[in-house]
Structure 1
Amino acid sequence: MRTASVLRRGIAACLLAPVVAGMIAAPAVAGPGGALPRVTGPIAQDSRSHAFGAAAHQAVPENLAAGGYTEAEYFISGQANVYTWPAGGPAVVRTPNAPYTTRLLVRKPAAGKRFSGKVVVEMLNPSNFFDLNIGWAMLRRQLIADGDAWVGITVKPVSVAALQNFDPGRYAPLSLANPLPVTDPANCADPLTLFPGDSSRTTENGLAWDIYSQVGALLRSNRTDNPLRYRERHNPPVQRLYGFGYSQTGGYLYNYVNGIQPLVVRASGRPLYDGYLVAVAGGSFVGAAPMNQCDPAPPIGDPRRQFDHAGTPILHLMSQSDYLWGIDSRRPDSDMPGDRYRGYEMAGAGHATPDELHASAKPADIVKAGRQVPAPGCDQGPRSPFPSQIFFDAALRNLDHWVTGKAIPPRAAPITVHNGTPATDRFGNVMGGLRSPYLDVPTATWSGTSTGPSFCAIAGHVTPLPATTLAQLYPTHNHYVRQVAASTAGLVTARYITPDDGARLIREAIHAPVTDQGPAPGQRPQR
């Protein structure tokens, strides 16, 4: 299954020389999902060539070194099966041993003694036809605070094409080619995909599943080319892997957990990933993907679109933008050993956030990749600034505590719906769901949907409450701050948000432009 031929094909040595500085290669070791991939890298980053989506070249640049972190890009090469997914069972091999080469973007503590041993592994979101680092955007504060690593994987051919547009020399080795020639009758004329126009008969989206398994096995391995290996003597090995998917790649995790993980367990006796954060995907809203380009996704109502006795803990989060579309993904929470599941609906949170754009490639790089820059605003104004991170930070911590036996995650009621319509309070904010001071001590109405271009239908927006309403609610600034502090204290105690995020919310309230309007209720004016 060696893929040296894939790396060599069409790549002159003079092209590779400036790109693959520090090349490392090691023999493959058998593991779940196929043999472990070969690793090339870290790929040099300098003024002439940098990784797409690199922290220093994000829309909002980030200095990882200031937080004690490093970043590196690697190429991995191996062979992946293409699967079909029959109803009532796990996936079945359709086409075996398809060569591939793709890339990893790795962020980890610079010093091994800071590395927690915990890793979030994300299939990078390709819904804009290029890679978005959404897991990093949502979890970066918690990852850095805990000393965790983050690994993003390019898994879809349309993203590979964007990378090769962006830097043809750097990304020349990448290939997610269809193992079937276009003359093969099994290579369907109209590839099936979640996003029309993002797929080709010469490439295959269905290589993602074994790539995800092989990356997990690589990160758990003792190989010298493991991107998470440190040279220090006392650094801990990788202890826990958590799968992360958001929107389209959240739907991918339905395929992986329900269709591929049983094969991994059959081969090795245990799952590769210790738990999953499945975000803003479920039911009719990206609740599964085509397992290969010629088979449709499981239909609505199919059991494959539901997590049921998955064998690993799953925290499932929906936003206010998508929970109604995905309402058929609702199921009871469970603490049973083989069916540990929590479902959360984030009241006030939008699906398409400004943060996912801030933490991904800058606009000039997106244009260079031949893609459209996503709209930062909609007809009603900028994308909703609701800080979804407060829920993701707690979700990651709660998932880890669940896996390690420290504590079970709290339960939360879903967003309240009556006859298919969300119940709202007098300020227009939804009721139920995961709560925050933004809705319980409101200064605005938070919408999950907007109108306008691109993903505005799931971007959301915020409408400040009138000054007269704020004056009635909060006669003094201190009155407002005390209410936020009380709300926050309850949420921290219940573990819906972390103590660090609770402190951030209170600091934000202290600096909020809620001005004194008169004496607080029950207080007499000073003379």
Structure 2
Amino acid sequence: MTVLQAHRLETSAHSLPLGVARLPGTAFGVDLEAAGYREDEYLVSGNANAWTYDEHGQAVPDADVPYTTRILVRRPVDEARFDGVVQAEPLHPEYDTAISWRVLHPWIMRTGAAWVGITQEPRIAESLRAEFDPARYGRLSIPAPSLRYDIVADVVTALRTRAFGLWDGPEITRAYLSGWSMTGSFCRVFLGEGFHERRRLPGGEPIFDGYVIAISSGGAARAGYPGLSNGPDQPTMRDPRRIVGSHGVPVIELLSEVESETHGPVLRADSDDPADRYRLYQVAGTSHDSTGPHHVDTNQEQYRRRGLPVPSRRILETPSDARMDFVARAVFSLLDRWVADGQAPPHAERFTFEEEPCGEIGDAVPLARDEHGNVLGGIRTPWVETPVARYHPHSTPVPGECRPSPWMPMAEPEAMTWLAGHMTTFSADLLIARYPTAETYLTRYRENCLAMVGAGFLRWEEVEPLLVAAGHRALTLLPRNRPVPAR
């Protein structure tokens, strides 16, 4: 369970990292140079434990296995800008996508934090080695799925201890682990199987100072708690490890409506106990795919350019314009204040169910909704508090227009679009009844944005883009008695 070697990979026009921050000549990605950031890619080799379950269902090491993975590191060029924070994420099995980066990059670059993405899925490591770029990634090897937890711990330990030149900047004072969907479940297993307690820095401090488990429900059958490997001997649907326990550092679960439908059997109370700091935040009017602009990701476009299969998904309805990432950036800021300053974040109202959850893991229970079909409770986003549409968490596939990737566990079109949100605009009569003029709508929308800022669930810098989007809606849907203000 240690890094033995690290090697920085050179980048050129003819050899780019998968998931490069910006894909030249396209609209894909983020301009790091303009933000004063740099990107480095490394191959990292070491030995990690393969893990299995004993006869009591407890995690035990099985064998010491060599591995070679790759990591991407993004950080400020000017070391004086670095704020001491590293946001770490296990890269998603779907094309090694960096969903935490997609969601957080504006805030990361505003605050001067660093980000590291770590390849941890054996199937994508094999695809990179054999299909995508054998010359660049021919040494990649992750022989077993259960290695992934120690691999991620190894990499961040090496960063924090400055091993093998992976980090030559100022001291890393705080490191957070987050994941979304399948990698959110990765974080739940990392905690549930004891890796947080087992893996420590040389002085005994935890590797990670806090966690965000996003759009992953502990009650979502195998997807919510995949366990150590792909084998049959995994924790049962009733296993208490599905519920986040006490780990001595803050843990936040951040859910959309989709995951909340199955989360009933594993709900627990918020806590400010120093040994068990926990929050659950459920974001009204969002779906599993409300994670922000997908053009930030370059991975699928890079695969497509090499003639390799990429997925497609189209729905019959109007795609939702909800943006969970606006709330998520505030939530991560709250986590950092909780760790750095001891300032406990606010509590949030939770969703309620149409009926009492039966307690069976994997069963989705509809959420209670108002007379217009929007969810009740949760963090009250401005598009739900000042609605011009009903926000649905699930959608309907266009026949013949949904193709999964080779790594997607859901191959059926109905299952793919179950994760996609859509919106149904209110009738003209209802819109006029609610908002006699566009100015009425914009005034209320602005008030709701400011209320979210006051509650801590929206950052000031996010208000303007939300108001601009609201102005576009007003121009399209509502009458006005004077020009619609942009902000």
Is 1:324 the counterpart of 2:261? The answer is yes
> C-alpha offsets along residues 205-251 of structure 1, whole Å, 9 cap, x if unaligned?
1110111111111111133602x323xxxxx3111000011111111
Q: Cα distance 1:362–1:212, how it changes in 2: closer, same or farther (>3 A)?
A: closer
When structure 1 is superposed on structure 2, of 306-315 and 468-477 the one drifting more is 468-477
Is 1:221 the counterpart of 2:161? The answer is yes
What root-mean-square deviation, in Å, do the aligned CA atoms of Structure 1 and Structure 2 show?
2.3
Is 1:153 the counterpart of 2:137? The answer is no
Show the counterpart of 1:303.
240
Show the counterpart of 2:354.
418
Partner SS for 2:62: strand
The 2-side partners of 1:139 and 1:88 are apart by: 39
Show the counterpart of 1:72.
40
Q: 1:462 aligns with which of 409, 423, 443?
A: 423
Show the counterpart of 1:377.
314
Show the counterpart of 2:139.
173
Compute the displacement of 1:363 (Å). 4.1
Q: Cα distance 1:395–1:479, how it changes in 2: closer, same or farther (>3 A)?
A: same
Report if aligned partners of 1:84, 1:295 keep a CA contact under 8 Å in 2. Answer: no
The 1-side partners of 2:44 and 2:293 are apart by: 25
> C-alpha offsets along residues 17-53 of structure 1, whole Å, 9 cap, x if unaligned?
xxxxxxxxxxxxxxxxx22342100x12212111111
Matches within 5 A, 1:227-306: 228-230=167-169, 236-259=170-193, 260-265=195-200, 269-285=204-220, 286-306=223-243
The 2-side partners of 1:406 and 1:499 are apart by: 22
Show the counterpart of 1:447.
392
Q: Cα distance 1:368–1:326, how it changes in 2: closer, same or farther (>3 A)?
A: farther
Compute the displacement of 1:74 (Å). 0.9
Q: Cα distance 1:391–1:364, how it changes in 2: closer, same or farther (>3 A)?
A: closer
The 2-side partners of 1:102 and 1:356 are apart by: 27
Report if aligned partners of 1:81, 1:93 keep a CA contact under 8 Å in 2. Answer: yes
Greater gyration radius: 1
Show the counterpart of 1:117.
84
Q: Cα distance 1:433–1:223, how it changes in 2: closer, same or farther (>3 A)?
A: same
Q: Cα distance 1:86–1:287, how it changes in 2: closer, same or farther (>3 A)?
A: farther
Unmatched runs of 5 consecutive residues or more in structure 2: 356-364, 405-415, 483-487
TM-score scaled by length of structure 2: 0.87
Amino acid at match of 2:425: P
Report if aligned partners of 1:87, 1:304 keep a CA contact under 8 Å in 2. Answer: no
Compute the displacement of 1:365 (Å). 2.0
Is 1:162 the counterpart of 2:127? The answer is yes
Partner SS for 1:278: strand
> C-alpha offsets along residues 129-166 of structure 1, whole Å, 9 cap, x if unaligned?
x2111011111111111111111111011111222311
Compute the displacement of 1:100 (Å). 0.4
When structure 1 is superposed on structure 2, of 63-72 and 288-297 the one drifting more is 288-297
Partner SS for 1:38: strand
The 2-side partners of 1:124 and 1:170 are apart by: 18
Report if aligned partners of 1:322, 1:458 keep a CA contact under 8 Å in 2. Answer: no
TM-score scaled by length of structure 1: 0.80
The 2-side partners of 1:343 and 1:371 are apart by: 39
The 1-side partners of 2:291 and 2:273 are apart by: 37
Unmatched runs of 5 consecutive residues or more in structure 1: 1-33, 178-203, 231-235, 521-527
Report if aligned partners of 1:348, 1:448 keep a CA contact under 8 Å in 2. Answer: yes
Partner SS for 2:48: strand
Show the counterpart of 1:517.
479
Matches within 5 A, 1:8-157: 34-41=1-8, 43-57=9-23, 60-85=28-53, 91-95=59-63, 97-126=64-93, 128=94, 130-157=95-122
Show the counterpart of 1:484.
445
Q: Cα distance 1:47–1:265, how it changes in 2: closer, same or farther (>3 A)?
A: closer
> C-alpha offsets along residues 149-198 of structure 1, whole Å, 9 cap, x if unaligned?
11111101111122231111111011112xxxxxxxxxxxxxxxxxxxxx
Show the counterpart of 1:350.
287
Report if aligned partners of 1:416, 1:432 keep a CA contact under 8 Å in 2. Answer: yes
The 2-side partners of 1:46 and 1:296 are apart by: 45
The 1-side partners of 2:58 and 2:275 are apart by: 17
Q: Cα distance 1:361–1:269, how it changes in 2: closer, same or farther (>3 A)?
A: same
Q: Cα distance 1:369–1:333, how it changes in 2: closer, same or farther (>3 A)?
A: farther
> C-alpha offsets along residues 276-300 of structure 1, whole Å, 9 cap, x if unaligned?
0111112232221231343533111
Compute the displacement of 1:275 (Å). 0.1
Q: 1:471 aligns with which of 432, 456, 465?
A: 432
Q: Cα distance 1:507–1:361, how it changes in 2: closer, same or farther (>3 A)?
A: closer
Show the counterpart of 1:27.
none
Identity %: 31
Partner SS for 1:253: helix
